[in-house]
Amino acid sequence: MEPTSLLIFAGALLVAAGSPGPSIAALVARVISKGFRDVLPFLAAMWIGEAIWLSLAVFGLAVVAQSFHYAFVAAKWTGVAYLVYLAWKMWTAPVETEGNEMPREDSPWRLFAAGMAVTLGNPKIMMFYLALLPTIIDLAAVTVVGWLELTVTMAAVLIAIDFGWVFAAAQARKLLRSKRAMRIANRVSAGTMAGAAAAIAARS
């Protein structure tokens, strides 16, 4: 693909993915509440989910996405339910400020499934790839190599954005030393996670 096309795609994705939304809110809330050590499965699922939407757009499978509409609706509500569950766990979590080990109450597979459900069920992400992307790139002219170039570009942008949010949230967590501060952080994280669930649920 032309470098200009890739730059335009990267810029549009940077604006769309960098703006705070349900996925970013869930990620930040998770890091502030539990730390960053076990967040990679959630991140990996978010990136793979966006790659799936990109592939559907590039290979003209929007019709398939519409045909399996109920499957994506099910993924959406699964993600909403899990975010609400995580919000409840954060709200009721015991406060620990000593020691270096972060709580690991959720298995990597559960975090991966949550990230995938949130990404596949997020209408904002779906609309970017299936509605906005065709206005940025001539998808009919994209070859398999072009798809790989778009995927690598997408991964680079998302990794930079998401790790930036993780770093910021991890720094904010370091400032929380007292039990009272940790309790407030847990409650704020719970509210943010619940807000992310509500935002996804409200979007059609």
Q: Which CA distances in Å does 154 have to 37, 47, 49, 137, 151?
A: 24, 9, 12, 14, 5
Quick one: pLDDT at residue 108?
A: 83
Is pLDDT above 50 for 35? yes
- Local confidence band at 51 (pLDDT 50, 70, 90 cut-offs): very high
- Local confidence band at 147 (pLDDT 50, 70, 90 cut-offs): very high
Average pLDDT of every residue of the chain: 76
Q: Which CA distances in Å does 72 have to 15, 105, 143, 202?
A: 24, 27, 26, 15
pTM given for the model: 0.68
Quick one: pLDDT at residue 132?
A: 79
- Local confidence band at 160 (pLDDT 50, 70, 90 cut-offs): very high
CA-nearest of 27, 5, 29 to 159 is 27
Burial of 178: CB neighbours in 10 Å, binned 0-12, 13-18, 19+: exposed
CA-nearest of 198, 202, 172, 164 to 14 is 164
Q: Which of 34-38, 44-48, 118-122, 187-191 has the lowest mean pLDDT?
A: 187-191
Q: Is the dihedral of CA 187, 188, 189, 191 positive or negative?
A: positive
Q: What is the 3-state secondary structure (H, E, C) of 65-125?
A: HHHCHHHHHHHHHHHHHHHHHHHHHHHHCCCCCCCCCCCCCCCHHHHHHHHHHHHHCCHHH
Quick one: pLDDT at residue 102?
A: 36
The predicted model gives 166-181 an average pLDDT of 71
